[in-house]
Amino acid sequence: MIRVAVSGAGQMGRLVLDTVEAQADMQAVGVLEPMGAADPEHRLTSGTVLGVHADPGTLFEVARPDVVVDFTNAAFTPALVDAALEHGVRLVIGTSGVGAEVIERLRRGCAEAGRGSVYAANFAIGSVLQMYMATIAARYFDSAEIIELHHDRKVDSPSGTSLATARLMRDARGSDFVTNTPSLEHLEGARGASWGGVPIHSVRLPGFVASQEVIFGGTGQTLTLRHDSTGRDSFMPGVVLAIREVMQRDHLVVGLEGLVGLG
């Protein structure tokens, strides 16, 4: 049995706990709620009751997880990475916007200890396929824009997935995309943010979960790649795969693509 703790008892964290508990080879063993929980216990849909801790060290000592799954906030994840490395706990991180230096620290720590971990900006396989296809199209189109659409409680903009997509597209092309820069801007920011010549537009509205459109423009044609996560359950197969894989691997894997043969 893989012993799994979850960091962050928000919408993703709660779903991960119930998903883990439903797997024959996994057991949910504890919850970390760094912001402090109203209740010291968390009841799973199965009825199992888990202790809720505010501090990673206490969670690791009391619950003794093999793996900790993190869906919190980029301001907190670095502290969890340090504590997990110190306690020999493998990490599966889904939190958006975690800094490159933190990922590098995790990469070094995993390599030194010979332990697996996964960081993925998006655990939905359709999104990973969209990014992969975008890297192919990037070689044939000079201009592209991204529209990412998320629920109105999302704290960061643009999404980690849109930044990762723009980075992969720019890397595949080898140079910045060609973009229209308005000589007359009636409203500041009308062309969105930009990375590698790819304007990124962030929509935040109730009703969306996570969607992304990558639009390529060329002579007399456009190509649109669109992915929609219509529910948070779209991320669960990827999270479950990552939990199993970190037990087998001896290094950090960045991106779900590295686990499904697209890396």
Residue of the chain from 94, 109, 197, 255 that contacts ligand NAD (CB under 6 A)? 94
How far apart are the C-alpha atoms of 44 and 61, rounded to whole Å? Answer: 21
Choose the binding region for ligand NAD from 11-19, 20-28, 39-47, 84-92 (rule: CB under 6 A): 11-19
Residue 258 CA, chain-centre distance (Å), reads 13
User: Measured from the CB of residue 232, what is the shortest distance to ligand NAD in angstroms?
Assistant: 6
Interface with ligand NAD includes 12 (CB under 6 A)? yes
Task: State the number of binding residues for ligand NAD (CB under 6 A).
Answer: 22
User: Measured from the CB of residue 1, what is the shortest distance to ligand NAD in angstroms?
Assistant: 25
Interface with ligand NAD includes 117 (CB under 6 A)? no
User: Measured from the CB of residue 119, what is the shortest distance to ligand NAD in angstroms?
Assistant: 9
User: Measured from the CB of residue 98, what is the shortest distance to ligand NAD in angstroms?
Assistant: 9
Residue of the chain from 5, 50, 68, 120 that contacts ligand NAD (CB under 6 A)? 120
Interface with ligand NAD includes 16 (CB under 6 A)? no
Helix-then-strand count for the chain, H and E: 7, 13
Question: Contact 115/250 with Cβ under 8 angstroms?
Answer: yes
Q: Which of 53, 150, 201, 227 is catalytic?
A: 150
Q: Is 150 a catalytic residue?
A: yes
Q: What are phi and psi of 188, to 5 degrees?
A: -60, 135
SS3 content of the chain, % helix, strand, coil (to 5): 35, 25, 40
Closer to ligand NAD at the Cβ: 122 or 165?
A: 122
Residue 190 CA, chain-centre distance (Å), reads 27
Interface with ligand NAD includes 257 (CB under 6 A)? no
| Selection from 157, 147, 129 nearest residue 238 by Cα | 129
For ligand NAD, what does the binding mask look like between residues 20 and 39, x meaning CB under 6 A?
-------------xxx----
User: Measured from the CB of residue 96, what is the shortest distance to ligand NAD in angstroms?
Assistant: 3
- The CA-atom distances, in angstroms, between 155 and each of 137, 148, 257 are 30, 14, 25
How far apart are the C-alpha atoms of 124 and 210, rounded to whole Å? Answer: 10
Contacts of 46 (CB under 8 A, 6+ apart): 18, 21, 22
Query: Which positions are annotated as active-site residues?
Result: 150, 154
- Residues that bind ligand NAD in the complex, under the rule CB under 6 A: 8-13, 33-35, 71-73, 75-76, 94-96, 120-123, 235
